[in-house]
Amino acid sequence: MSVLDRDLRVAIVGLGKMGLLHASILSVLPNVQLAAMCEKSSVTRKLWKKLFRGIQIVDDSEKLSDLDLDAVYVTTPIPSHFSIAKTLYTGNMTRNLFVEKTLASNYDEAKELCELADRFGGVNMVGYLRRFAVTFRKAKDLLSEEIAGDVTRFAGYAYSSDFSGMNSSSNTPASRGGVLSDLGCHVIDLATWFFGDLKVDSAKVESITDGCSGDVWHFTVRTPGGLVGDFKASWCMYGYRMPEIGLQISCSKGIIEVNDDFVKLKLNNGRLSTWYRHDLNDTAGFWLGGPEYFREDDFFVKSVRENLYAEPDFNMAAKVDCIIDDVLFRVDKISD
Residues 275 and 162 in one domain: yes
Mean pLDDT for the stretch of residues 17-27: 95
Residues 29 and 78 in one domain: yes
Q: 57 and 138 share a domain? A: no
Does the pLDDT value for residue 173 go beyond 60? no
Strand 56-58 relative to strand 32-38: parallel, antiparallel, unpaired? parallel
**Do 134 and 118 sit in the same domain of this protein?**
no
140 and 248 in a single domain? The answer is: yes
Q: What integer pLDDT is reported at residue 336 of this predicted model?
A: 41
Which pLDDT belongs to residue 168? Answer: 54
The DSSP letter of residue 59 is S
Displacement of CA 179 from its chain's centroid (Å): 13
Residue 271 belongs to some domain of the structure? yes
Is 315 or 50 the better-scoring residue by pLDDT? 315
- Residues 199-211, mean pLDDT to the nearest whole number: 85
Q: Which residues span the domain enclosing 269?
A: 130-286+319-335
Are residues 150 and 204 located together in one domain of the fold? yes
Residues 206 and 266 in one domain: yes
Domain-located, residue 302: no
Whichever domain contains 250, its CATH number is 3.30.360.10
Average pLDDT value for residue range 180-187: 96
Using pLDDT thresholds of 50, 70 and 90, give the confidence band for residue 210. Answer: low
320: pLDDT strictly greater than 70? yes
Q: Determine phi and psi for 326, rounding to 5 degrees.
A: -65, -40
79-87's contacts with Cβ under 8 Å and 24+ in sequence apart are 79/105, 79/177, 80/14, 81/105, 81/109, 81/113, 82/109, 82/112, 82/113, 84/13, 85/113, 85/116, 86/112, 86/113, 86/116, 87/61, 87/62
Average pLDDT, the chain: 92
Outline where the chain has alpha helix (H).
17-28, 42-51, 81-90, 107-120, 134-145, 172-175, 179, 185-195, 291-305, 314-335
Above 50 in pLDDT, residue 101? Answer: yes
Indicate whether 32 belongs to any domain.
yes
On whether both 81 and 10 belong to a single domain, the answer is: yes
In Å, what is the CA distance from 17 to each residue of 26, 126, 168? 14, 17, 27
Binning the chain into helix, strand and coil, the percentages to the nearest 5 are 40, 25, 35
Residue 23 lies in a domain: yes
Identity of residue 103: L
Single out the residue in 97, 122, 147 at which a domain terminates.
122
The pairing of beta strand 124-126 with beta strand 97-99: parallel
pLDDT at 158 over 70: yes
Q: Do residues 182 and 92 both lie within one domain?
A: no
Tell me the CATH number at 72: 3.40.50.720
Report the alpha-carbon angle 21-141-266, nearest 5: 110
Mean pLDDT of 15-26: 95
pLDDT in tens, 40-78: 999 999 888 888 888 999 999 999 998 999 999 999 999
Between 124-128, 210-214, 218-222, the lowest mean confidence (pLDDT) is in: 210-214
- What is the count of structural domains for the chain? 2
Would 167 be classed as within a structural domain? Answer: yes
pLDDT at 167 over 90: no
- Among 79, 96, 122, the domain-final residue is 122
CA distances from 86 to 23, 46, 70 (A): 22, 27, 16
Q: What percent of the chain has pLDDT over 90?
A: 83
Domain co-membership, 156 together with 255: yes
In-domain check, residue 300: no
Using CB atoms within 10 Å of the CB of residue 191, give its burial: 0 to 12 exposed, 13 to 18 middle, 19+ buried: buried
Query: Stretch 158-164: mean pLDDT, rounded?
Result: 91
